[in-house]
Amino acid sequence: MKEHDRFTATGLVVLMLVLWLGFLIHRSPWFAGSFWGGTLGISGATLMLVPLAYMVIKRILPLKKFVTRRVPMRTLLTWHIYAGIFGPILALLHTGHKFVSPLGIALTAMMLIVVLSGFVGRYLMSQFSELIHEKKSMLTQLEVGYRQVAAELAAQPGQIAMLSPISGFWSRIGARLLWEDRAVTEWPASARALRITESMADLEYAIKTHETFKRWFSHWLRFHIVISFILYGLLALHIYFAIYFGLRWFA
């Protein structure tokens, strides 16, 4: 998700939460069954079917090849994200903040959970990927610097002997404070080697930690898909009962 799209999606999710909290100050018992309430409900339900179409296209290879000849997957993902947020926003407006029936309450709650899980999961996954890529680039640069310092140490064996007195934790802290006020280029080769190896170790630990979190969040997609199908089941029941009782009133 690009920065602009992420900012827009964040604003829409915040708007959705604000609209949901509107029941604290506003309730309209009749709006959901009115013409405009019904129009918003049908529009919201239609938009919420777009993410389902995206999931089907993504997992059926012949259909994916056919569709992506005309529309890239990145564009389909953008439609998936925006439709998955706009649909619930219209559905919340459709309710008129009348949360009375257990089915309506369950549908609204599941709708919010699906949107939040999708947004947070997508945002965190992209953040982890960006951080891992950035830190690996920094590690590559440090490895180049380390090879240069190693070549200097090989040419000056006396510098290697200087590493022994500062091999402990507190001695490294003291040495760093001693050299901190000088430019790095003025540090002796032994001090630069120590600084680079510490930085490389920190980066390797950070990369390993981010990759672990990324593996944990890989299970998020399964969770998001499962609760999405629960949402569609509740939505189907809601539409069925709305039509059933609506036709009885017309009769």
Q: Can you give the three-state secondary structure of 115-160, one letter per residue?
A: HHHHHHHHHHHHHHHHHHHHHHHHHHHHHHHHHHHHHHHHHCHHHH
For the ranges 76-80, 91-95, 168-172, the lowest mean pLDDT is seen at 168-172
pLDDT of the residue at 160: 52
What average pLDDT does range 180-205 have in this prediction? 68
210-224 per-position pLDDT tens digit:
788 777 777 787 888
For the ranges 39-43, 52-56, 117-121, 150-154, the lowest mean pLDDT is seen at 150-154
CB atoms within 10 A of CB 208: 10
Evaluate if residue 151 carries a pLDDT over 90: no
> What contacts 241, CB < 8 A, 6 or more positions away?
103
Which one-letter DSSP state was computed for residue 182? S
Q: Which pLDDT band, with edges at 50, 70 and 90, does 169 fall under?
A: very low
What average pLDDT does range 155-174 have in this prediction? 53
Domain range annotation of the chain: 3-126+219-250, 133-211
Conformational region of residue 137, where left means phi above 0, alpha means psi within -120 to 50, and beta covers everything else: alpha
pLDDT of the residue at 251: 47
Quick one: which of 57, 112, 48, 117 has its CA closest to 83?
A: 48
Evaluate if residue 52 carries a pLDDT over 80: yes
91-110 per-position pLDDT tens digit:
999 988 887 788 888 999 99
Long-range pairs, 40-44, Cβ under 8 A, ≥24: 40/90, 40/91, 40/93, 40/94, 41/90, 41/91, 41/94, 41/242, 43/90, 44/86, 44/87, 44/88, 44/89, 44/90, 44/91, 44/93, 44/94
Average pLDDT, the chain: 80
pTM, entire model? 0.68
